[in-house]
Amino acid sequence: MDKLVLVAYATRAGSTAEIAATIGDTLAARGFRVEVKPVKAKPALNGYTAVILGSAIRMGNWLPEMVKFIQAHQAALAAMPTALFTVHMLNTGEDADSRAAREAYTASVRALLPNAENVYFAGAMDFSRLSLLDRFISKMVKAVEADRRDWEAIRRWAETVSIS
Ligand SMILES: Cc1cc2nc3c(=O)[nH]c(=O)nc-3n(C[C@H](O)[C@H](O)[C@H](O)COP(=O)(O)O)c2cc1C
């Protein structure tokens, strides 16, 4: 297959990068050519047939470098198959309040790319990977260390995401 897919991610502590790598591996097993890149590398979009964009959540929002990337490339992204994944720790339940809260995390991004497929993955908190400020904030809000990433769910999504 000559389809080349970009998986671009924004991370602070690495868990989103590891999810992006697993999505990339799964797409490669589907026969796609795949490049996995940090959005901070400012990848150019020419040459890609589809794009998957993922960000960690910090204080209720996608990371600013990914939001800026989408704003800068909105027209090109809207014209090709695009999918979004969000990595977060709170509001992971199936109840209506949880769903509404996590959908609020992505409302502004989904408004920019209304046709993009959209998924949420539970992430990980590892204090040793956080900046001093993030560690301080995490302790203030009594966040707990945990790795809630469901690799099966991540692979299942990447096996079926529509990017053709
Ligand atoms: C300072 C800070 C703020 C966070 N804010 C939120 C939040 O508002 N909602 C949420 O669900 N998760 C929040 N998280 C959890 C992260 O989204 C989660 O740990 C994610 O896996 C981090 O991704 P990364 O390792 O790629 O940076 C926060 C984590 C930190 C350290």
Parent domain of 116: 4-160
Q: Is the CB of 122 under 6 A from ligand 1?
A: no
CA of 40 to the centre of ligand 1 (A): 18
Which whole-number Å values give the CA distances from 9 to 30, 96, 140, 142, in the listed order?
Answer: 20, 28, 27, 27
**Which CATH number belongs to the domain containing residue 151 in this structure?**
3.40.50.360
Q: Is the CB of 11 under 6 A from ligand 1?
A: yes
Ligand 1 atom closest to 149 (CA): 21
Total structural domains in the chain?
A: 1
Q: Which helix (H) or strand (E) holds 137?
A: helix 132-140
Give the pairing of strands 117-122 and 82-88. parallel
pTM score of the predicted model: 0.97
Q: Is the CB of 137 under 6 A from ligand 1?
A: yes
Please list the pLDDT of the chain residue by residue as tens digits (164 residues).
Answer: 689 999 999 999 999 999 999 999 999 999 999 999 999 999 999 999 999 999 999 999 999 999 999 999 999 999 999 999 999 999 999 999 999 999 999 999 999 999 999 999 999 999 999 999 999 999 999 999 999 999 999 999 999 999 87
CA of 14 to the centre of ligand 1 (A): 11
Residues 6+ apart with CB under 8 A from 134: 12, 13, 58
Q: What's the rounded Cα separation, in Å, for the pair 16 and 57? A: 10
Q: Is the CB of 16 under 6 A from ligand 1?
A: yes
Which neighbouring-strand residues pair with 65? none
The pLDDT value given to residue 133: 95
* Distance, CA of 83 to chain centre: 9
Ligand 1 atom closest to 137 (CA): 1
149 in Cβ contact with 19 (< 8 Å): yes
Q: What is the pLDDT of residues 86-102, one digit of tens each?
A: 999 999 999 999 999 99
Burial class of residue 41 (count of CB atoms within 10 Å of its CB; 0-12, 13-18, 19+): exposed
57 in Cβ contact with 88 (< 8 Å): yes
Mutate to test the pocket of ligand 1, among 22, 88, 132 (most ligand atoms within 8 A of CB): 88
In a 3-state reduction of DSSP, which class is residue 113?
coil
